[in-house]
Structure 1
Amino acid sequence: MVDDGDEQHSGPPDSRMLRVSDAERRHVVGVLEKAVGQGLLTLEEFSARTDRALSAQTRGELNSVLIDLPDIRHRELVGTEQPLVLSTGAGTVRQHGRWTVPRTIKAECGMGTISIDFTTAVCPHSEVSLHATVGAGTVTVIVPRGWTVVLVEAISRSGSVVNKATDPPDPTMPVLRVYGRSGMGTVRIRHPRGRGR
């Protein structure tokens, strides 16, 4: 954590002014397609909003094309989702299968096991942050080949924080930024077993 001592910048930035990625723009266009299918938008409205979405530079601009759509609004606004929290003391937690990846994931493990598998997950974001904290247990993270894994933080007392997902990255696929902290346990990031993607 960096503290520059400047109290003027101590508050969080206005999320509406944060820049958006191509993946987020494509995600919103997909939401607009669903709205047409539900009869919420005409084809003319869809075309106009798609143009606005694809040219949006900030979250405020991007979210403005969804703001008046009932139901969809609360599920799909970019940057408003809650982080996924996976926590266990001495048990087992598994996040596998087809699931939608949020922008931020927190994995907190005492003596148990947490397994997070992104292999068949749907990730609408270009970047995802994972904060993994382990006591004496294990957090295993499985990422598809092509994903970029950036080990931002690796802090360990007598355990380990290991990134084995080192295949060549595909620039069109997501970046996973990992902040790993271990007491006596293990945080391990790897690709799926076998040669397939």
Structure 2
Amino acid sequence: MAEPIVSEDDRDTAVRRLRDAYADGHLSHEDLDEALHHALTARTRSELSSALAALPQPDAGATATIAAAGGRIRRSGAWRVPRTLKVESALGRVHLDLSRAVIEHPVVDIELRLGTGRAVITVPRDAIVDVESLFTGWKSPLHKTPRGARPGGPTIRISGAMGLGQLKICHARH
């Protein structure tokens, strides 16, 4: 099986990480130029990863919690996904869009603690989704792997409990 080709979103994320590392003083100007050249000319994910090898690694045990008593919880765009994300909401809707997010871990654990309300999680097209550890009190999660999808992206493990509501998992179209 051929190695996954780098998408424009992957390349944009790599360039953003390199610029952030330069701004934080982790790379010299010369190192930034060289790494940007490698990132922009990379054809496979392993080539892209080697362009980012000099960057400091994020804390592998990073955990973040998003909580709301009522209302909506929404994350989208180029947000940084922690290794473990806890989402807690008694009432309201949850929408997590990971399709353009910065995912630096091969496995991301999302723990849902939801009372009522619907949850939608959009994952990268090549993501592997595991919902075996999610307890749903009312309706089973809706999840369908897209046709022609090639595993190779991050594994998204969704656990926790949902009361009255339903989880819908969508794969990004590109």
> TM-score, normalising length from structure 1?
0.57
Greater relative contact order structure (CA < 8 Å, 6+ sep): 2
User: Among residues 81, 87, 95, which one is paired with 2:75 in the alignment?
Assistant: 95
SS across alignment from 2:121: strand
Return the alpha-carbon distance in structure 1 between the equivalents of residues 123 and 145 of structure 2. 10
Deviation at 1:77, TM superposition (A): 4.0
Moved beyond 6 Å, runs of 4+? none
Q: Which has the larger radius of gyration?
A: 1
Is the CA contact 2:61–2:83 (under 8 Å) kept in the aligned structure 1?
no
- Pair 96,118 (structure 1): closer, same or farther in 2 beyond 3 Å: same
2:157 is aligned with 1:166: no
Deviation at 1:38, TM superposition (A): 5.5
2:86 is aligned with 1:106: yes
SS across alignment from 1:132: strand
2:111 is aligned with 1:131: yes
Is the CA contact 2:127–2:154 (under 8 Å) kept in the aligned structure 1?
yes
> TM-score, normalising length from structure 2?
0.64
Residue 145 of structure 1 corresponds to 125
SS across alignment from 2:59: coil
Residue 36 of structure 1 corresponds to 27
Return the alpha-carbon distance in structure 1 between the equivalents of residues 89 and 144 of structure 2. 21
SS across alignment from 2:27: helix
Deviation at 1:170, TM superposition (A): 2.9
Is the CA contact 2:79–2:102 (under 8 Å) kept in the aligned structure 1?
yes
Return the alpha-carbon distance in structure 2 between the equivalents of residues 177 and 117 of structure 1. 15
User: Among residues 54, 59, 64, which one is paired with 1:78 in the alignment?
Assistant: 59
Give unpaired runs (5+ residues) of structure 1.
Answer: 1-26, 44-53, 55-61, 67-72
Could you list the per-position Cα deviations for residues 14-37 of structure 1 after superposition, in whole angstroms to 9, with x for gaps in the alignment? xxxxxxxxxxxxx9xx77x74332
Return the alpha-carbon distance in structure 2 between the equivalents of residues 146 and 165 of structure 1. 12
Q: How many residues align?
A: 136
SS across alignment from 2:130: strand
- Pair 85,183 (structure 1): closer, same or farther in 2 beyond 3 Å: same
Specify which structure has the higher proportion of strand. 2
